[in-house]
Chains A and B, each alone.
Chain A
Amino acid sequence: MLTVLLILIPFIAGLIAFGLKGSGPKALAVISSLATVATAIGAWCRLGSAPDSLSFTANWIPQLGSQFRVGLDGMGMMLCLLTAIAFLLVFISIYNRNYESSNSFYGLMLLSQAGLTGVFTAYDALQFYIFWELALIPVYFLCSLWGGDKRIAVTFKFFVYTFLGSLLMLVGIIYLYTQNPDHSFSWESFTNLHLGADQQNWLFWLFFVAFAIKMPVFPFHTWQPDTYEQSPTPVTMILSGIMVKMGVFGVIRWLVPVLPEGAHMWTDVAIVLSIIGIIYASCIAMVQSDLKRLIAYSSIAHIGLMSAAIFSHTEQGMQGVLLQMFNHGINIIGLWIIVEIIQQRFHIKNMDELGGIAQKAPRMAIFLVIISLANIGLPLTNGFVGEFLMFSGLFQYNHWFMAVAGLGIILAAVYTLNMIQKVMFGNANALTETATDLQPSEMLALSLVVAIILVLGVYPKPILDLVSNTTAVVLKF
């Protein structure tokens, strides 16, 4: 039942938030996300001792054999935890902001949280698809209502892109269902299908395109930088911190186990696409002067590495991906929190016009440096362990792939350090003279981020242990 609660708490809170006024929605959002984090931790404790108590099944459409089935394995647990923590961080960090019609804003945010948790816990393909779409709808409205100047066209592109991808996946799901003698959508029966190689061959693409658009993997990424730039930053945090993980999650939970031969057949293509994405996005990131676009491209590079490591199909690679899903979520949200603060203070996000903030706001500078270093995977930060494991997995699969992908790290160091230097150091100009340091709520959110970065950098074992059963299951296929 705890798993159902993870979905229900934000869902109900979201519905209530629509009816509240003033600072009510804000407070409710924080309370609801605290409750969700507590529930997630409670579920984590029971995962080891009584994993069955976390799954829940109810009949839904008996004519189709579709059930409402939620459950948690290591990966699902980790992502639910990430979702819960991420929303808490977002809500704390924007506590001082006042949004126009904030009841709808917080209501939609909470609804998208419910949708995302639903995706990560679904064990029925039809239900998975429905949550997959549901997570998108609130985000569409959030971006279109509170975004930047070009928001309507940009968000619409994003929506159509992902909607087309999901429809292709729906065709794939229906096809698998018609091939299924059990007349069921359950994950277990789908993984037992053992379809012929020629079928898996083309089915792979129906699913891969849907997931690749979400991640995004080159060449399906074109919606992403625009959307990240135009969205209100709290939504960008959710998009880049959690929603992209839906794609990675989809590949690990559904694509590889259900279509193992298809995945095997197209491994090289998928890895090459991912690596092109890493190099391409890193190069573009180097010449960006817009802070939001820079982080958007760096996110494409990071996701590319995860996607490549999944398809390497090695234990280290998989463990690395699962760990990095969590870490990347935390780190990127930390980065966005600082971007949001800068944007709020100075109303610009062009790096060339910033500079010298460190003199006026030393705490902000320290946080930015730590989070950025974690983002490029410096030892003793959480990013290091995940990246190391992913590279060693890729190395086992093919040395050359690893060597080219490794260039991405160097490029990442270049653009990240460049960014820190341009934004924080150098001479202050008229605008940045007025900088003020962090406020308590921002301080709290960033401290949490940095605490997680340092703890997991030194001691990643809890997360690695948590996800190891998923790795074992996936590698069997």
Chain B
Amino acid sequence: MFVGLFARKQTIKFFAIAAIIIAFIANLAQYPSVELGGYTMYGMIEVTKFSIIFNAVAIGSTLLYFLLSGSEFEKVGDHVADYFALVFFILAGISLAATFSNLLMLFLAIEIMSIPQYILAGSDKKNLKSNEAALKYFLMGCFSTGVLLMGITLIYGSAGTFEIASLGLGAENVSPLALCGTILVAFALAFKVSAVPFHFWTPDVYDGSPTVFTSFMATVVKAGGFIAFVRLFHVGFAGGEISSHWMLLLSIITALTLVLGNFTAVFQQSVKRMLAYSSIAQAGFMMFAVIAMNLAAAQGIVLYAAAYSIATIGIFAVLLRLKDYTFEGFNGLAKKEPLLAFAVTVFLFSLAGIPVTAGFFAKYFVLAAAIQQGHLLWLVILAVLCAAISVYYYFRVIMAMYFKQGDPQVEPVSGGFKAGLILTVILVLALGLFPNLLLGCL
């Protein structure tokens, strides 16, 4: 991972891409050995098929991200190698988040994911907004870390162990200690995935950070937060009385996230800020996977992470090439750059959950998980109404590109970028037509 630090500037991107491909292959190489069951390492991490597939999604998305937006790193500042290294650190945190089996490892995973983000958010040193974003994120992030640690302590106090599989919280009588701990942990993780009402940092941080890093933070990192969330609650806090307590709490958080994220996104004027709110809204859908706790939920979160990350990375990659981030900046893009406009349309369809794109099956699985669960039907109907609202702001971009006249300021795009974009579009459509490409491995 440090190889980038010593290389010449031009070759850094090349090394990064090579390294990520090696990481991707190394990750998949473990797959045959866990086909029949996972293995554990000193009770700290547990590698299963599920975590390997999730890591493959995270690493694969990062690869696409490097291919599409890697060249934009240079425009942020001088320390290009550092940026790549930080991204790799985050990735290490994510793979830990997908495999932890001990609360201490959870804490480490979350911190390894978060600290490099604080730096990336502030990497545009001369920009006041970037500084503000970094500071805000850092302060709020530290606070939530404290809450997480407090929660873990309380749970330890009640259960006497850090092992998530043997917490034994599913028993008949829940001690107030354990309940408080669970709630605090839930709050801290809700902060990390920017669920309402812990989302206030999101729009400012996503808007203030250099766009190229926003694109990573809003996608792969968020998916990493969710995998930690799902893992902890499905393994550690499942069953018994305790699950009914946190399930109610998380249902309310989900409902708030869906409503607030979608309604606020409608009123945004900047596409970048709209995507920030849309990421909150999409988090609402991913929350379903946490509360539903069944097979469909586990499949759903992997598919959702893939669909959402790929599509959002794609949109950001195009956004980076535009001068003007408002909706008007997209006016007439279809005439000038038909390929870019078509790709963005496919990505937006995917985010809106329209069939034959990956987003449709992602939404399908999380909704199916919630319906199977039984008493979440009210939430499902609410989610469906919110999905209809989301069409409004996603289609505003499509309308601007295709139906409005304008002369968008686009940087010239290279053939390689176009090829990467086409690859991404194919991936989105392939997952939309044959979701079993991914699910078959689970």
Contacts and interface: CB of A to CB of B under 8 A. Distances in A.
B436 A62 contact: yes
Given A141-B402, A144-B399, A167-B384, A61 B436 contact: yes
A16 interface: no
B388 A133 contact: no
Nearest to A168: B384
A130 interface: yes
Chain A at the B interface: mostly helix, strand, loop or mixed?
A: helix
A144 B368 contact: no
A163 B286 CA distance: 21
Contacts of A167: 384, 387-388
B115 interface: no
Interface in B344-381: 349, 354-356, 360, 364, 367-368, 371-372, 377, 380-381
Contacts of B372: 178
Given A171-B381, A171-B384, A174-B364, A137 B395 contact: no
B354 A137 contact: yes
B440 interface: yes
A170 B361 CA distance: 11
Contacts of A151: 403
Interface string A163-181: 1100110110011011000
A151 B399 CA distance: 11
Interface in B278-313: 299
Interface in B181-227: none
Interface residues of B, number: 29
A164 B385 contact: yes
Contact of A159 (B377, B380, B391, B403): B391
B116 interface: no
Contacts of B403: 144-145, 151-152
Contact of A61 (B381, B388, B435): B435
A231 to B, nearest CB: 14
A159 B354 CA distance: 12
Interface string B394-410: 01000100110000000
B25 to A, nearest CB: 26
B392 interface: yes
Nearest to A169: B384
Given A152-B403, A171-B384, A174-B368, A134 B435 contact: no
B434 interface: yes
B371 A63 contact: no
Contacts of A174: 364, 367-368, 371
A160 B396 CA distance: 12
Given A156-B395, A159-B395, A174-B364, A129 B355 contact: yes
Contacts of A145: 402-403
A156 B404 CA distance: 14
B367 A170 contact: yes
A160 B392 CA distance: 8
A163 B435 CA distance: 22
Contacts of B364: 170, 174
A63 B440 contact: yes
Contacts of A133: 354-355
B50 to A, nearest CB: 14
A398 to B, nearest CB: 33
A130 B356 contact: yes
Contacts of A168: 381, 384
A215 B37 CA distance: 52
A29 B388 CA distance: 33
24 contacts: A60-B434, A61-B436, A63-B299, A63-B435, A63-B436, A133-B355, A134-B355, A137-B349, A141-B402, A145-B402, A145-B403, A151-B403, A164-B385, A164-B388, A167-B384, A167-B387, A170-B384, A171-B371, A171-B384, A174-B371, A175-B371, A175-B377, A178-B371, A178-B372
Interface of B: 299, 349, 354-356, 360, 364, 367-368, 371-372, 377, 380-381, 384-385, 387-388, 391-392, 395, 399, 402-403, 434-436, 439-440
